[in-house]
Amino acid sequence: MSAGTSIGGTRAVELAVGGMTCAACAARVERKLNKLDGVTARVNYATEKAAVEAPPGVGVDALIAEVERAGYRAELVEPGGPGAEPDDGQVRYLWRRLVVALLLGAPLADLSITMALVPSLRFPGWQWLLLAMTVPVATWCAWPFHRKALVNARHGTSSMDTLVSLGIIAASCWSVYTIFAHGEASAPTDGAWGLLLRPGGSVYLDVAAGVTTFVLAGRLFEAKAKHRAGGALRALAAIGAKDVAVLRDGREHRVPVAELRVDEHFVVRPGETIATDGEVLHGHCAVDASTMTGESAPVEVSPGDAVVGGTVALSGRVVVRATRVGADTQLAQLVRLVERAQTDKAGIQRLADRISGWFVPAVCGLAVLTFLAWWLLDAPAEEAFNAALAVLIIACPCALGLATPTALLAASGRGAQLGIFIKSHQALESARAIDTVVLDKTGTLTTGRMTVVDVRPAPGVDRATLLRHAGAVEDASEHVVARAVSDLARRELDELPAVADFTSLAGLGACGVVDGRAVLVGSARMLAECGVTVPDDLDEQRTRWEADGRTTVVVAVDDAVAGVLAVADAVKPSAARAVARLHRLGLRTALLTGDNEATARAVAAEVGIDDVLAEVLPADKAATIQELRERGRTVAMVGDGVNDAPALARADLGLAVVTGTDVALGAADLILVRDDLDVVPSAVSLARATLGTIRGNLVWAFGYNVAALPLAAFGLLNPLIGAGAMALSSLFVVTNSLRLRRFGAQPQAAG
């Protein structure tokens, strides 16, 4: 059995935990695991997983045994393997019991109300009929609660199931006692209002059945809601190809994807899913990356471009070299990161867990005190029992336990659909406090590729002729600037003539013969050394471009200047729009780069960034972030390169573009899958929406219990109404959380 991955001398192990029914259960498992020497565990009730860091001396079997001693089930989630699927068997298990509870409980409730409101309709033995209808509901249907309460009692603990089980048993036993002791006198006698608020009688069979039905319905809804909330991640994990056409010995062989190895070549045809991460060797095609990035527009790929497993080829046949397979693919790593994040706990969730841990025994104590207080005040025993029973039932902290994890689970799934992978839920809390967003330039704000951004032909020279001569010479060079010129020429002209007598002049440019004419392409300095003078108007344009931080290329044909080109690392099309959205969110923006001041300010002005931090050495980027924090700023850093990793780690919130290096991805809190800077404000908006949802959930959950408990203790709530209110409270919390699945990534108000 695998023991998980190694982290700094400890092993990171993930366990799927079964049998938990509330946040108190998760807190108990967590406490049990943390009692083992050197073990640090975090248990999440919503995902039913435990993230454990254990020293070498503590084996997986010992961890599982400790969970089982707490009264729960556990199994290892293998690294790189699929996460544990939600327990559909549990859904069916609850559904069968709920159906029986409804079939018996509905007529039981009708009959109880009829007997209470119309005493003349009572018939001999009506109590026994009620009892016969109640027994299956209070025993078989309620068995999940009784079983868990027994397990808790055996381990000297309690949970929400303890409250439910005690309430059902108490209501049933008191009713049986009343039937035997008082017979006909046991019916409520004060009409409908008394039935809702303070029933004067003492038969609570309808309460026992009603509590069972309401709580079963709530549990069933929770189980289905957790399944839906994680649906986006399960769909993402399942999009991979099942088989692949591998090229071996010059022939195609269709094999399962699991047999594909690194550096093997495979074929992708139109309509097929790309089997794994790789590099295109031959062919061109359009790729639908929407499943990974959420972008609807296809991406054109050609030889040398990277492709990601799980995306779909729309047109064209390509041959791809596998660069990563299995658990090492980008898709597998991202899904694994999010699954681990879902087991992580935000601080606000830990608070709710701690409250749930002591809430159950406190409620049991309050129920006893309520009964004693009414009894000492000479109230009838049935009224004292009614008040105590209402306290017991209405206080179940379902909503409290669900308030945070369901919102975080829904946010993770929706974020994955939008191209935002959340590595840590702590990042969601950090994002709300952010007031400054610092963006790296190269590869983050810009494309990271040199592109011709402006062309100025000399008088009497047309653009096509200029590009024909310049492109032919630069096509023979490997320099990044030359590649930018030749790429533009090929796009506009399709074909380029051959160049003769090509010579590369390192750091200056190149020369050659095109169509029988001598062509020089390079810097103004190179042309000056060759005796070629740049006309004043073109030289002024060149000077302005260079002042804006652009690289200039001068082209001369037969010793006469034919034109000037400006080359730059082009700003991403989405950059200005994303910066504007950040400003609407109330955030200040800053550009952080090692480039010169002129280039940095030109880029900042183009996209609307507020502050410029230029000529910052890679080693100083983290220190610059720290300086901003010391000035009272709460900083988010967006980057992609190795030199950005320290700054990403130092920032309050690190966001890494997925096209960046593994080091940057490892240092970040959020990973942005789409090559579109719009995901940056979307990530902040999602974080704010999630925190707002959690706050709303907790206010409701705390407020409900705070308001309901005194009413119940003073005898102003029927236990049956309390059970219904408890179920509706959980329903509100889960439904409110699931609204995040429809989050549209629209700008949220600052704050």
List the structure tokens of 181: 């002791």
Q: Report how far Cα 336 is from the mean position of its chain's Cα atoms.
A: 11
Residue with tokens 């490997």: 478
Is 730:224 a contact under the CB 8 Å cutoff?
A: no
- Which residues neighbour 472 within 8 Å (Cβ) at sequence distance 6 or greater? 489, 496, 497, 498, 499, 512, 514, 519
Question: Is 37 in the active site?
Answer: no
E strand or H helix at 28: helix 23-34
Is 485:499 a contact under the CB 8 Å cutoff?
A: no
Is 438:590 a contact under the CB 8 Å cutoff?
A: yes
Tell me the pairing of strands 251-256 and 243-248: antiparallel
Is 738:421 a contact under the CB 8 Å cutoff?
A: no
Options 440, 569, 669, 675, the catalytic residue: 440
Secondary structure percentages of the chain, helix, strand, coil, to 5: 55, 20, 25
Q: Report how far Cα 120 is from the mean position of its chain's Cα atoms.
A: 61
Task: Dump strand ranges (E) for 506-576.
Answer: 509-514, 517-522, 551-557, 560-571
DSSP conformation class of 620? G
| Rounded-to-integer distance, Cα 95 and Cα 353, Å | 27
List the structure tokens of 715: 């005898």
Task: Tell me the DSSP string of 398-424.
Answer: HHHHHTTHHHHHHHHHHHHHHTEEES-
Give the helix ranges, DSSP H, for 608-651.
621-630, 645-650
CA angle 430, 620, 654 (to 5 degrees): 20
Report the catalytic residues: 440
